[in-house]
Chain A
Amino acid sequence: MSTKIKTIKGRGVVGRQVKGEAIVTKEPFMFPHGLDPRTGVVINKKHELFGRNLVGKILIFPFAVGSTSTATWLLEAIRLGKSPKALILEELDPMLAIGAILAEIFYFDKSFTVIDFPNLIGKEDSPLNIIKTGDVLNISGKTGLIKII
C-alpha cells in the first residue's frame, strides 16, 4: 500500500514551497563535523552518506545528533548556499529547530525549509519508509505537505 502514497502530510516548521531530489538515510544525522559548511559534502566518516554532496537536495533522516553548535554549523552551510534545500525528519530537537528558525529570520532569501513528523516517530508510515532516494519531491514548509512527483 505504501508505494501508492503520493502525498504525505507533516508539520511545516519553516520555509516555503520548494522542489528537489530526495536523499534518504535511516541513520541519525550529525551537522557539527558531519556536514562541511563550505562544500555541502558529508564529512562524518561513520555515516552511510559519507562523501555525498547534499547541496540543493532534500535530506530525509530520523533525527539530528550532536552538540549545541548544531544550529550554527547548519546556518553556516545555509549562509554559503551549501546546505540541503530542505530537511524532512521524524523528530525535531531544540538545537536543530533554532538553526531552522534563525535561517528563516536572518537568511530568509535562502528559503530553507523544514518539515517534521512528530506523530510518526518510528512508525511504518513515516516518510523514512515511504520516500526513496532519487524521488523528486514538491514540499511546503508552510503546510507540511509533501508530494512525491
Chain B
Amino acid sequence: MFLTNEEEEILKGKEGLAKKFAMEILIKVGNLFRAKRLIPIKYAHVHGHYGSLHDAGMEIIEKFASLGAKYSVPTTINPSSISVEGTEISIPNEYAEKQKRLRIAHEVMGVYPNWSCCPYYVVFPMFGDCIAWAESSAVVYANSVIGARTNRMSTGLEIAASIIGKIPEFGLYITENRFPKIEIEIKIKNLYDEDFHALGYLLGKLCERKVPFIKGISGKITLDDLKALGASAASSGALELYHIENITAEVKGGLFNIKKRKLEKKFTITKEDLKKVKQKISTTSGEVNIVMLGCPHYSVEEMKKLVKLIKGRKISNNLPLWVYTSSRVKAICRGLGILELLRKSNVKVISGTCPVISPLNLLNIRSIMVNSAKAANVIPSEHNIDVAFASTQECVNTAILGRRL
C-alpha cells in the first residue's frame, strides 16, 4: 500500500504511540485486503458496549485512551450495555464498573455520547462521503439510504480510523464494488411495517454478499421502513448495501445505469414467501413475558406512530411494553409531549441501550415479543430467550390485553 510521507512518519511513531498503533492497524488491514492507499473519512461510529467487547476490547480501548489518543473526526458511539436511566435491569457492580470504564475511555478520546445504533440522527454524512461506521444496521443505512460509503467495521478498525482520520480504500469505498449484482423482484402490492423486517431478513439470506437491485416496491415507503429492511438484512446475512428502484440514494443519484448492468439470477419474492419467513423468525408461538420495541432505535416518527396505535389506552401490568431509543430522540419526544402520553399509558421509554446488547438474561424472563427481525434473530443466541416476531400493531395489542390473542 502506498503511504504518504506524513503517514510514514506516524508509523515510525513521530506523533506518539497511540497514532503509531492506529496506523499499524490501518496498514495491516489495507495490505491484507489489497488497498492501494488510505483515504480520508468524515465521520466514525464506534462500539462501546461491554457485553460483547469483553475485557479484551475494554483493555485495548483504555490503552488507546491512556496513550493520549483523540478522535480526529466527529465520532458517535453505539448503544451501551446499560441504559441512561439505569433502572429497568439490576446490573451487577462489576459489570457496571466495566461499562463505566469503557464510557470514560471513549469520552476521554472525544466521542459524541449519543449511545445509539442510529448515528444518522445526530451526524449527517452526505452522498459520496467516506465514513467509518461500526454497527451493521447503520452501515447498510449509510450506504443505501444516504449514499455515503463505509465497510462494516469491527471493533478496533473504526477506532484506528477515527484516530488517524483515514481508512484503507477497499470494499465499498470503491465505486465498482457498489454496483448491483443480483436482481430481486417484489410481487407484493402493499407492504406494512413487519413486511420490511421480513423482507430484509429474506434479502440477507438470498443475497449472500452480493449487492441487490430491488424492483417492484410500490406505494409509500418511509425512512423507518428502509431502516428496518437494512437492519434485518445485515443481521440475517451481513448485507452492507442494497439498491431499490426509484428510491435509494445511488439509484436516484445516477451512480450506475441499471440498463447497462448485467445482473445475475433473479429472485422473485411473493406474499407467501414473506409469510413463511415471519413464521421462521419466531422461536415461540406461546405466551410472552414482555414486549420490546426499538431495534434499531426508534425515531421520533416511530414514537408518534406508537402513540397513535395505543390511542390513550393503558399497557397491562403483567405484560410490560418497553421501547428503546437514543437520549436525543427521547428529549425531542419530551418536547413534543409524546413522552408524557407514553408515560400515562405505562410505556417505559429506555435510552442509550437496546435489547440486543443489554444483559436481558438478568431479567428472568423466558420470551419476548418484538417487532424487529434483527432483534428476533439475535436475542435467542445472545440471551437464550425465546422470541415472538409480530407487527407493531400486534405488539401493542398484546401488551394492552396482557396476553397473546
Q: Residues on A close to B: CB < 8 A?
A: 13-14, 32-33, 37, 65, 67-73, 75-76, 78-79, 92, 94-95, 97-99, 101-102, 104-107
Given known pairs A68-B47, A92-B32, A106-B63, the reply for A98 and B152 (CB within 8 Å) is: no
Whether A105 lies near B56 (C-beta < 8 A) is: no
B53 at the interface (CB under 8 A from A): yes
B382 / chain A contacts, CB cutoff of 8 Å = 33
Which chain B positions have C-beta within 8 A of A97?
Answer: 28-29, 32-33
Instruction: Tell whether A72 pairs with B54 under 8 Å between CB atoms, given A97-B32, A99-B154.
Output: yes
Closest chain A residue to B235 by CB distance?
Answer: A67
Which of A13, A72, A99, A107 lies in contact with B52, CB distance below 8 A? Answer: A72
- Complex alpha-carbon distance, A14 and B33, angstroms: 14
* Cross-chain contact A37 with B151 (CB below 8 angstroms): no
Residue pair B134, A106 in contact (C-beta under 8 Å): no
Q: Which of B47, B152, B381 contacts A94 (CB 8 A)?
A: B152
With both beta carbons as reference points, the residue of chain A lying nearest to B383 in the complex is identified as A33
Q: List 28 A-B contacts (CB under 8 A).
A: A32-B52, A33-B381, A33-B382, A37-B54, A67-B52, A67-B136, A67-B235, A67-B378, A68-B136, A68-B155, A69-B53, A69-B154, A71-B154, A72-B57, A72-B155, A75-B60, A79-B54, A94-B153, A94-B157, A95-B152, A95-B154, A97-B29, A97-B32, A97-B33, A99-B156, A101-B24, A102-B60, A106-B59
Complex: how many Å from CA A99 to CA B54?
Answer: 13
Separation in Å of the B280 CB from the closest CB of chain A?
15
Looking across the interface, which residue of chain A has its beta carbon closest to that of B378? A67
Q: Is B183 interfacial (CB-CB < 8 Å)?
A: no
Do A94 and B29 touch across chains, with their CB atoms under 8 A apart? Answer: yes
Tell me, in angstroms, the Cα distance from A13 to B28 when the chains sit together: 9
B154 touches A68 (CB 8 A): yes
Interface of A is mostly: helix
Q: Which B residues are in CB contact (< 8 Å) with A32?
A: 52
Cα distance A105–B26 in the bound complex, in angstroms: 12
| Smallest beta-carbon distance A107→chain B, Å | 8
In the complex with contacts A33-B382, A105-B25, A78-B56 CB distance below 8 A: yes
Residue of A whose beta carbon sits closest to that of B57: A72
Question: Are A75 and B152 touching (Cβ within 8 A)?
Answer: no
Instruction: Give the size category of B's interface with A.
Output: 20 to 34
Name the interface residues of B306-332: CB closer than 8 Å to any CB of A: none
Query: 1/0 per residue B139-173: CB within 8 Å of A?
Result: 00000000000011111110000000000000100
Closest to B47 in A: A68
Q: Which residues of A contact B21 (CB under 8 A)?
A: 105
Contacts of A99 in B (CB 8 A): 154, 156
Q: Does B55 lie within 8 Å of A79, measured CB to CB?
A: yes
Shortest C-beta distance, A116 to chain B (Å), equals 8
Is the contact region of chain B dominated by helix, strand, or loop, or is it mixed? Answer: helix
**Contact of B250 with A by CB under 8 A:** no
Distance between Cα atoms of A104 and B53 in the complex (Å):
17
A94–B25 Cα gap in the complex (Å)?
11
**Nearest CB of chain B from residue A13's CB, rounded to whole Å:** 7
User: In chain B, what residue has the closest Cβ to A99?
Assistant: B154
A137 to B63, CA, bound (A): 34
Is B135 an interface residue, CB under 8 A from the partner?
A: yes
Instruction: Knowing A68-B154, A101-B156, A102-B25, say if A73 contacts B52 (CB, 8 Å).
Output: yes
- For residue A94, give the distance in angstroms from its CB to the closest CB of chain B: 6
* CB proximity of A105 to chain B, nearest CB, Å: 6
Complexed CA–CA distance, A69 and B57 (Å): 10
Looking at A13, A68, A99, which has the most chain B CB atoms within 10 Å of its CB?
A68
Given contacts A98-B157, A102-B25, A106-B60, contact A69 B52 (CB under 8 A): yes
Contact of B154 among A33, A78, A98, A106 (CB under 8 A): A98
Bound form: Cα–Cα A105–B152 in Å: 21
A94 B55 Cβ-Cβ under 8 A: no
Inter-subunit contact B154/A75 (CB<8 Å): no
> How far, in whole Å, are A34 and B168 apart by their CA atoms in the complex?
29
Whole-angstrom CA separation of A33 from B357 in the bound complex: 13
Smallest distance from the beta carbon of B166 to chain A beta carbons, Å? Answer: 16
Contacts of B22-38 to chain A: CB distance below 8 A: 24-25, 28-29, 32-33
How far, in angstroms, from A19 to B301 measured CA to CA in the complex? 58
| Chain A nearest CB, measured from B149 CB (Å) | 15
Cβ distance A75 to chain B, nearest Cβ, rounded Å: 4
Cα distance A70–B153 in the bound complex, in angstroms: 11
Answer whether A98 and B60 are a contact pair too, CB < 8 Å, given A71-B154, A72-B155, A73-B54: no
Known: A67-B136, A69-B155, A71-B156. A98 touches B52 (CB 8 A): no
Q: Are A68 and B135 in contact (CB under 8 A)?
A: yes
Among candidates A68, A76, A95, residue contacting B56 with C-beta atoms closer than 8 Å: A76
The answer to whether A79 and B59 touch (CB under 8 A), given A72-B52, A101-B28, is yes
| Residue in contact with B32 in the complex, picked from A13, A33, A68, A72, CB distance below 8 Å | A13
